[in-house]
Chains A and B, each alone.
Chain A
C-alpha cells in the first residue's frame, strides 16, 4: 500500500536558520502531495500542495517540490521564525480506488529566539 516516511524530530533550530524536513513516499498511481501544519491545540491545516511531478508548492515562505524520480517532497524554508514552531505532516492522496489519504508520522519543529 501507499506510505509516507518523514524524518523524525524534534528538529530544533535557532531563529533565521534554514529548515529542511525530508519526506519520501511510495504510492501506486500518481498521488497529490501535501504538507500540513499543526499548531499546539489545533487541528491540521494545509500548508502547501503539489499535484504533479516537478510542481513546486509554496506558502508563508515554505516550499516543496514534487520529485517523481526520487519520490520525495522535502519541505524547506530559508529563515524560520519562532512562530513556525509546530508539527509538520507530509501526506499523499490518490484519486482512484479507496479514499485513504496517507500521512507521515509528523515532525516537530522547535525554533528558539
Chain B
C-alpha cells in the first residue's frame, strides 16, 4: 500500500531536549516536505526536498533541521525544542512539484 509513515504519532517533551520525527515514503517520490498545522494559520511549510541531498527552507524553517540521505526518508530534527514549536506536524511527498501531495497521519508535539 502506497503510504507516508511518520513516527511517533504523539510526543511530549521538555524545552531543549533534542528530538527527531521520522518520515518514510514507499512511492519512490522525488519531493518530500514537512508542514506544521496550527489553529487559524492552516498549513505552513517548514522544509522541503526535491531530491536526495537537496533540501531548502520553506515558510517557517527557524528552529528545525532536516536531512535527505535516502530517497525514502526525510526526518525532521528539533535540536532545542521550545514551547512555540508545540504543533501538529505533517510529512508529505509527491511525484512532481505540481503533483498531489500524499500526507502522513501527523505527529502531535507538545513542548513544555
B43 x A99 contact (CB < 8 A): no
B41 x A95 contact (CB < 8 A): no
Smallest distance from the beta carbon of A57 to chain B beta carbons, Å? 10
Instruction: Report the separation of the CA atoms of residues A101 and B45 in the bound assembly, to the nearest whole angstrom.
Output: 8
**Interface: B14 (CB within 8 A):** no
Binary CB contact string for chain A from 78 to 113 against chain B (1 if under 8 A, 0 otherwise): 000000000001010111101111011110000000
Binary CB contact string for chain B from 76 to 112 against chain A (1 if under 8 A, 0 otherwise): 0000000000000010101011111111111000000
Most B CB contacts (10 A, CB to CB) among A32, A41, A43 go to A43
How many residues on the B side are at the interface (Cβ–Cβ under 8 A)? Answer: 27
Q: Give the interface size class of chain A.
A: 20 to 34
List 9 additional A-B contacts (Cβ < 8 Å) besides A98-B56, A106-B42: A41-B105, A43-B103, A44-B103, A46-B100, A46-B102, A91-B101, A93-B99, A95-B98, A99-B33
Q: What is the interface of chain B, defined by CB distance below 8 A to chain A?
A: 4, 31, 33, 40-43, 45, 48, 50, 56, 58-59, 90, 92, 94, 96-106
Of all A-B residue pairs in the complex, the 6 with the closest CB atoms, nearest first, are A43-B103, A105-B42, A32-B98, A46-B100, A95-B98, A103-B43
